[in-house]
Structure 1
Amino acid sequence: MIRLIRRIVRKLLTDRLSPQSEQLVVRAVYYVCILILMVSVLNEFGFKLSALLGAAGVFGLAIGFASQTSVSNIISGIFLISEKPFVIGDAVQIGTTIGVIETIDLLSIKLKTFDGRYVRVPNETMIKTEVINITRYPIRRANISISVSYKEDLTKVLAVLADIASKEPLALSDPEPLLHVDSFADSGININYGVWTNKESVMLLKNALMLSIKERFDQENIEIPYPHVKLITEGEINS
């Protein structure tokens, strides 16, 4: 019976609420039905409702302090549902954890990481922690930090990088790629290289760009610097 009620409620709410709001309402209806069923069964066995309420009051007082965290999570969940910083199916970063949101419940959200791990994050943590919605917008920029030798012609290097972006099928021409000389490091000159693509293709684009950069730099004899260590013998020091 309860499953039937859940199906009816879900059918009525389809296309009327967001997936996370629908999920929350369906779960709330489920718990209310369970409560009503329990009260009905106890009533059939002769338990009086007044006695149950009295016992529930004493029991509730005993666990009141322990339930503060749960209440905080429920309130935080309501704020998350109303604010909608993310929806089911979004990829988010919470601290060092990155994953796709599978469910948004009264107490927590559940993530599936890209390497197949299950992560539960309390709603209160979501409110207090910076959450990065990776897939909120339809396009994203794949960012790559590149270092070239001091002897290289930067105009030529930037032209090669622009050409790589223009020939990459996954890359978008609008917005234009980012080509920015960032800093002078110990071993070389650092360049920020960013190319826009559809949000689903960020990792594929970054991989393709890395392969193309290595291939083109080899063809154009553009040196990618790396740390060098020079060993000096005792004889060289004394000479």
Structure 2
Amino acid sequence: MENFIEEYGSMAVELGTNVLIAGLILIIGYWIAGRASALVKSLGAKYENLDSTLFNFLGSLARYTILAFVFIAVLGRFGVQTTSIIALLGAAGLAVGLALQGAMSNLAAGVMLMIFRPYKTGDFIDAAGNFGNVEEITLFTTVLRTFDHQQIIIPNGKIWGEQIVNHSHHPIRGVEMTFGVSYDSDIDKTRAVIEKVFADHPHILDDPKADIAVSTLNDSSVDFITRPFVKGEHWFDVRYSVPELVKKALDEAGIEIPFPHQKVILFQGDK
């Protein structure tokens, strides 16, 4: 009887010790996980050039990773074979990764977009064959709003793997436009008319000075390539308003804008 009491007494002491140690592991583990998560998240809030969404995700990932090891350590205190559990978790993670391969590629692309920041919310971009204003950037998708107020949700994997054109990156941009006039037109007069249109436009800047030059001698026209400079937010207004203004100004100045035509010369054969 004494041996029985002594044996179960030692087992109770050992169990109590394991429970106490497991409790301490849980408390310390939870504290470390919380501190690690807060530390990672604070990095995103500390620097403006870092995206907080990414660091919130990384903070949560760090927290749950630490907690997973904490629970494995707790189970180990009670004699549970954790090797098989780790192997099972690894196999489950691999299976989930294969099942969500597309989602994982979008996640990886989202992380890269948030680290390198080729665009931000509010920018006008051309990406994955779509053009619009960036409304939201998440870890998996980018949301665009088009000019006709359609919402386009693009997987980040499609964007990261293709060319990205950020129309809002530079504060001052050139607006490239080409205007063709007839061969009978005076080049200097044509240049003066275009210069006046640019000078009178409220959104075209005087500095840097607009580029106006003859670029091509086509079959039916002399082409002027022009590049006035504007603030980024006025690019579209200038791009879609100036051609009409130039057309009216050239008409008023009597400068012809030719349409494509061909001259046919007929030869009468010998009779």
Q: Shorter-chain TM-score category?
A: 0.7 to 0.9
The residue number in structure 2 matching 1:223 is 256
Distance in structure 1 (CA, Å) of the matches to 2:230 and 2:90:
58
Question: The residue matched to 2:98 in structure 1 has which SS?
Answer: coil
State the alpha-carbon separation in 2 of the partners of residues 120 and 18 from structure 1: 25
| Superposition deviation, residue 105 in structure 1 | 1.5
> Residue by residue, what CA displacement relative to the aligned partner does 1:59-114 show, whole Å, maximum 9, x if unpaired?
44433322233222222222221212111111111143111112222222221122
Q: Aligned partner of 2:53: which letter?
A: Q
Please point out which of 121, 125, 134 is paired with 1:101: 134
Q: In the alignment, is the contact (CA less than 8 A) between 1:20 and 1:88 conserved in 2?
A: no
Give the aligned partner of residue 171 of structure 1: 204
Q: Give the TM-score taking structure 1 as reference length.
A: 0.74
Mapped pair 1:162 → 2:162:
no
Whether contact under 8 Å (1:177, 1:195) holds in the other structure is: yes
Distance 1:20 1:89 in 2: 16
| Counterpart among 111, 123, 137 of residue 156 in structure 2 | 123
| Structure 2 stretches lacking a partner, 5+ long | 1-37, 68-81
Question: 1:39 maps to what in 2?
Answer: none
The amino acid across from 2:212 in the alignment is L
Match of 2:235 among 202, 212, 215: 202
More helix by share: 2
1:23 pairs, out of 53, 73, 78, with 53
Match of 1:151 in 2: 184
**Cα distance 1:32–1:120, how it changes in 2: closer, same or farther (>3 A)?**
farther
More strand by share: 1
Seen in structure 2, the aligned counterparts of structure 1 residues 144 and 119 have a Cα distance that, compared at 3 Å, is: same
Q: Report if aligned partners of 1:170, 1:205 keep a CA contact under 8 Å in 2.
A: yes
RMSD: 3.7
Which structure would you say has the larger Rg?
2
Measure how far apart 1:150 and its partner are: 0.8
Per-residue CA distance 1:27-80 (angstroms, 9 max, x = gap): 66789999x9xxxxxxxxxxxxx9998876664443332223322222222222
Alpha carbons of structure 1 residues 32 and 20: separation in structure 2 relative to 1, 3 Å: same
Q: 2:128·2:159 contact (CA, 8 Å) conserved in 1? A: no
TM-score normalised according to structure 2 size? 0.66
Q: Distance in 2 between matches of 1:179 and 1:53?
A: 69
Q: In 1, Cα distance between the equivalents of 2:92 and 2:128?
A: 37
Q: How many residues align?
A: 217
Report the Cα distance in structure 1 between the residues aligned to 2:129 and 2:141, rounded to whole angstroms. Answer: 18
CA distance in 1, matches of 2:215, 2:231: 25
User: 1: distance between equivalents of 2:48 and 2:148?
Assistant: 27
Please tell me whether the aligned partners of residues 175 and 235 of structure 2 are also in contact (alpha carbons under 8 angstroms).
Answer: yes
2: distance between equivalents of 1:96 and 1:130?
9
Measure how far apart 1:125 and its partner are. 2.4
Cα contact 2:128–2:158 (8 A) shared by 1: no
Residue 142 of structure 1 contacts residue 205 of structure 1 at CA under 8 Å; is this kept in 2? yes
Q: Work out whether residues 107 and 156 of structure 2, in 8 Å CA contact, stay in contact via their aligned partners in 1.
A: yes
Determine the C-alpha separation between the residues in 2 that align with 1:54 and 1:65.
17
Deviates more, 1:207-216 or 1:145-154: 207-216
Identity %: 26
What is the alpha-carbon distance in structure 1 between the residues aligned to residue 86 and residue 150 of structure 2? 42
1:229 shift after superposition: 6.7
What amino acid is the match of 1:155? D
SS at structure 2 position matched to 1:80: helix
1:134-164 residue CA offsets vs partner (Å, 9 max, x unmatched): 0011112222211100111111111211122
Q: Unaligned regions of 5+ residues in structure 1, if any?
A: 1-8, 37-49
